Structure 1
């Protein structure tokens, strides 16, 4: 049933994306321009949507494999676990049961940074991993708070949600980058008849790549905004699973650690998956996590 719901959500999202872009194209007059230029915008629209959404979902399906490789995650085997590994498994199992989740894969990775993350294509195929810095730098109640936060991400389906958001952004980026690059290249070619040959195609390609980067950068602001909202919900879920004070203590410990502890550069590509990251000023627009001060204040005010 969960599988059908996910595919249903995927299908509905694709329909909404295609419909929205189609309306924008018609209202803006781009449709007539494209048809006059001999371009099938409906075919282009379908291609960009499949390409954008498909790429995002392929990334989701490969997320566990890629994270394990990039961070050097070592999976804990329940049959051979002992000591702190057994304790970590027991904690995750207890909190997962409280969240109504099956037992996820549990792992750890060598890093002085105090952090953790959850990933995976579904609630039934999730991975929760913690850094050795977290295990060494937090007490048991703080670890529970972090684990509760990450398991709430899994319970809320945040990995799928963020994949859908990224897919929507990708679709818009690819579509409008292609259209705008076509318009610009066409106008430039009219001014230079010699540029109508292979140079015209190359020109459009280069313009298109620049626009993909520019539109992608703007689109990442939208993705980051949605991610920050999901973080508040994950904090609230962590508070329910592990206790509000434990969740607050975990965030306060992170705040202290982030003020002087080193950053693990390997984790830059999966920053959105972690319990927190750093950023301020203009960078806050692209931050996937709200400031720790705001998250702590929301928990204290029970603003969730």
Structure 2
């Protein structure tokens, strides 16, 4: 997905936010919504990563507190010629991971304890290579801002339900407020889907190149998809606008049609990685200096 298209989609989300403001309070409401959207984007640029990590109870680790996990990330970052990101662990039984940060120099990667306990070292390397691919592609800022705006649209849509019907700029009256409450979050979800799906495929491809073994990531995705569907992620369920940040969909107690899923079909992702593995010889280099073992990483979370 080109950055031009991404910019247009983000502009569309902002436009939707302003339109809801107009429906609620006319021109003054639209202006207030614009000021709020501007401030929200500025805040997201500088602080969204901190808010997200705090939301999921992530704790930062280093070479002393989580030596094996930290070393995997360090080796992959070095091979990808990226600055060393901050490394976090989330106390969550659902196996999952995400990356965040406004640029590669201020990036962070986070994995759940469920992921670290479930996957082998090679599979963990595949997952973290995928997250570093998001950092390398500079997806992290866009994806975090998208989550922030989508959440704000849902909040404003609820205000529209209660106050939009009394505004003379709303030709549908109370019915308009109901339509906004239903359709605005759906529209925001569609934009998230369009932004996220293509970026996931690209991160899979580049992540496989970073770790040097497409099948490491393919194996990990297969386990994560099954594991995540069996374990609740209450923080994600309470903040569904952030679901597209994870490597696999963290939501399953809220049954959402696959048409609106922010993640591509898992079978398609795994097949793409298999084709990649079959079409080129595996390259062992500085990118793939990961200790070989079938065992998961053991640590204080295990």
State the TM-score, normalizing by the size of structure 2. 0.68
Aligned pairs (5 A) from 1:71-90: 71-78=56-63, 81=64, 85-90=66-71
The equivalent of 1:138 in structure 2 is: 119
Change (3 A) 1:59 1:283: farther
The equivalent of 1:231 in structure 2 is: 200
- Say whether 1:67 aligns with 2:45: no
- Say whether 1:244 aligns with 2:214: yes
Q: Deviations over 1:234-291 (max 9, x none)?
A: 11111111121111111122233245x3122123323222110156985223322112
Query: Contact 1:104–1:125 at 8 Å: present in 2 too?
Result: yes
Measured in 2, the distance between the counterparts of 1:130 and 1:233 equals 20
Measured in 2, the distance between the counterparts of 1:179 and 1:67 equals 31
Query: Contact 1:57–1:163 at 8 Å: present in 2 too?
Result: no
- Root-mean-square deviation (CA), in Å? 4.0
Contiguous gaps of at least 5 residues in structure 1: 1-8, 26-38, 189-202
Contiguous gaps of at least 5 residues in structure 2: 20-25, 280-302
Measured in 2, the distance between the counterparts of 1:257 and 1:232 equals 20
- What SS does the corresponding residue of 1:301 show, helix, strand or coil? helix
Q: CA deviation at 1:159?
A: 2.0
Query: Contact 2:100–2:144 at 8 Å: present in 1 too?
Result: no
- Say whether 1:124 aligns with 2:109: no
Structure showing greater radius of gyration is 1
Aligned pairs (5 A) from 1:1-304: 17=11, 48-78=33-63, 81=64, 85-162=66-143, 182=167, 185=170, 207=176, 211=180, 214-242=183-211, 243-259=213-229, 261-268=230-237, 269=239, 270-277=242-249, 278=251, 283-302=257-276
Judging by fraction of residues, say which structure has more helix: 1
Paired residues, number: 254
Structure of greater relative contact order (alpha carbons < 8 Å, 6+ residues apart):
2
Measured in 2, the distance between the counterparts of 1:54 and 1:96 equals 33
Measured in 1, the distance between the counterparts of 2:46 and 2:198 equals 23
Change (3 A) 1:224 1:46: same
